[in-house]
Amino acid sequence: MSDPFVSDDARLIADAARRLATDHIAANAGPLDRREPEARQAFLTNLKRLADHGFMAINVPAHYGGSEAGPVAFALAIEALARACSSTAVTVSVTNMVGEVIAAVGSEEQKRAHLPRLADGTYRAGAFCLTEAGAGSDPAGMTTRAVMDGNEWVLNGAKLYITSAEYAGLFVVWAVTDPEAGKGRGISCFLVPAGADGLVIGPAERKLGQHGSATNAVHFEDCRLPADALLGRLDGGFRIAAGELAGGRIGIAALALGIARAAIDAGVAYAKERRQFGQPIAAMQGPQWMIADVETELEAARLLILQAAAKKAAGEPFGRAASMAKLYASEAAQRATYVALQLHGGAGYLVDHPVERFARDARITTIYEGTSEVQRMIIARDVLAS
- Can you tell me whether residue 347 is helix, strand or coil? helix
- Can you tell me whether residue 341 is helix, strand or coil? helix
Residue 331 included in any domain = yes
Q: Of 234, 257, 288, which closes a domain?
A: 234
Same domain for 116 and 137, yes or no, is: no
Residue 2 included in any domain = no
The answer to whether 212 and 34 are in contact (CB under 8 A) is: no
Same domain for 246 and 377, yes or no, is: yes
Same domain for 381 and 244, yes or no, is: yes
Say which CATH number the domain at 191 has: 2.40.110.10
Same domain for 145 and 118, yes or no, is: no
Q: In terms of Cα–Cα distance, which of 93, 106, 102 is closest to 248?
A: 93
Residues with catalytic roles = 369
- Can you tell me whether residue 354 is helix, strand or coil? coil
Predicted pLDDT of residue 199: 98
Residue 94 included in any domain = yes
d(CA 92, CA 76): 12
Predicted pLDDT of residue 252: 98
The answer to whether 312 and 78 are in contact (CB under 8 A) is: no
Ramachandran sector of residue 155 (left: φ over 0; alpha: ψ -120 to 50; beta: rest): beta
Same domain for 132 and 207, yes or no, is: yes
Q: Of 123, 152, 171, which closes a domain?
A: 123
Predicted pLDDT of residue 135: 81
Q: Of 214, 234, 254, which closes a domain?
A: 234
Predicted pLDDT of residue 302: 97
Predicted pLDDT of residue 69: 96
Q: In terms of Cα–Cα distance, which of 25, 111, 100 is closest to 251?
A: 100
Residue 1 included in any domain = no
Residue 148 included in any domain = yes
Residue 24 included in any domain = yes
List the domain range (segments joined by +) for residue 228: 127-234
Same domain for 147 and 222, yes or no, is: yes
228 CB-near residues (< 8 Å, 6+ apart): 107, 109, 110
Predicted pLDDT of residue 241: 86
Report CA-CA distances (Å) from 386 to 348, 380, 382.
46, 10, 6
Residue 215 included in any domain = yes
d(CA 5, CA 76): 11
Same domain for 263 and 372, yes or no, is: yes
d(CA 21, CA 1): 21
Largest interatomic CA distance in the chain: 80
d(CA 232, CA 71): 22
Same domain for 178 and 107, yes or no, is: no
Residue 3 included in any domain = no
Say which CATH number the domain at 50 has: 1.10.540.10
Q: How many domains does the chain have?
A: 3
Same domain for 247 and 377, yes or no, is: yes
97-106 core/surface letters (b: 16 or more CB in 10 A; e: else): bbbbbbbbbb
Could you tell me where the DSSP H helices lie in the chain? 8-20, 26-33, 37-52, 71-84, 86-105, 108-120, 237-273, 285-313, 319-344, 355-363, 372-385
Same domain for 28 and 116, yes or no, is: yes
- Can you tell me whether residue 206 is helix, strand or coil? coil
Indicate the Cα dihedral angle 252, 258, 259, 261, nearest 10°.
140
User: How many other C-beta atoms are found inside a 10 Å radius of the C-beta of residue 48?
Assistant: 14
Say which CATH number the domain at 319 has: 1.20.140.10
Same domain for 146 and 80, yes or no, is: no
Pairing state of beta strands 279-280 and 275-276? antiparallel
The burial of 37, by beta-carbon neighbours within 10 Å (0-12 exposed, 13-18 middle, 19 or more buried), is given as exposed
Pairing state of beta strands 126-129 and 170-176? parallel
Residue 188's DSSP bridge partners are 175
The answer to whether 176 and 155 are in contact (CB under 8 A) is: no
Walking along the chain (386 residues) 10 residues at a time, the average pLDDT comes out as 78 96 98 95 98 97 97 98 98 97 97 98 97 80 94 97 97 95 88 97 97 97 98 93 89 98 98 95 96 98 97 96 98 98 95 95 96 97 94
Same domain for 98 and 134, yes or no, is: no
6 CB-near residues (< 8 Å, 6+ apart): 14, 72, 76, 306
d(CA 83, CA 255): 8
